[in-house]
């Protein structure tokens, strides 16, 4: 996973706000070829939008897995005391359990995993800073992965 300074700044900018409202700030793994970037863990486009303090966020209700997790010190202390800390949850293999953290399917800590949307002309788009490059880039030509292109766009007139 290639975690950059831009990724950290994205997390620092939004994490406290969304966690304080009961949400997890999402990241999306990407891979790319010479022309396009694709999401590795989404098999369909995200479409649900919510609002927090008049800011639009897209809900990742498809697959919150991104191969790693990051929480504040306070959130980590809560996680360590949770039942999920002992990896007693379903829906993931052993390796994936360590990489899902506290925001996996069927867990009750967060309402949802969300990603802020940015305005771009007549649409809203997922920001580049939420993307984490999956360095092996080995899913790009796999039939089950990399079917949704970056960025995810939402027409502005649908969510004003």
pLDDT, average across residues 143-156:
89
pLDDT score of 51: 96
Task: Report how far residue 42's alpha carbon sits from residue 147's, in angstroms, rounded to the nearest whole number.
Answer: 7
SS3 (DSSP) at 25? strand
Average pLDDT, the chain: 93
- 113: Cα within 13 Å, side-chain hemisphere: 24
pLDDT score of 159: 59
pLDDT score of 89: 84
pLDDT greater at residue 86 or residue 159: 86
Copy the structure tokens of residue 43.
């098999």
pLDDT > 90 fraction of the chain, expressed in percent and rounded:
81
Task: Report how far residue 133's alpha carbon sits from residue 3's, in angstroms, rounded to the nearest whole number.
Answer: 8
pTM equals 0.93
Q: Name the nearest CA neighbour of 154 among 46, 78, 50, 71.
A: 46
Which tens digit of pLDDT belongs to each residue from 78-123?
Answer: 999 998 998 888 889 888 988 999 999 889 899 999 999 999 988 9
Which tens digit of pLDDT belongs to each residue from 42-64?
Answer: 999 999 999 999 999 999 999 99
SS3 (DSSP) at 75? helix
pLDDT score of 95: 86
């Amino acid at each position: 996973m290639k975690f950059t300074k831009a990724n950290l700044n994205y997390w620092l900018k939004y994490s406290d706000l969304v966690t304080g409202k009961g949400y997890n700030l999402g990241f999306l793994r990407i891979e790319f070829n010479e022309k396009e970037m694709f999401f590795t863990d989404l098999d369909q486009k995200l479409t649900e939008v919510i609002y927090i303090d008049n800011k639009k966020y897209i809900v990742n209700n498809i697959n919150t897995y991104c191969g790693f997790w990051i929480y504040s010190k306070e959130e980590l202390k809560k996680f360590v005391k949770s039942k999920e800390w002992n990896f007693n949850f379903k829906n993931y293999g052993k390796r994936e359990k360590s990489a899902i953290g506290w925001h996996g399917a069927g867990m009750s800590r967060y309402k949802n995993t969300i990603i802020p949307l940015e305005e771009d002309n007549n649409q809203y788009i997922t920001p580049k800073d939420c993307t984490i490059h999956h360095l092996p880039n080995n899913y790009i030509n796999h039939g089950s992965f990399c079917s949704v292109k970056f960025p995810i766009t939402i027409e502005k007139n649908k969510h004003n």
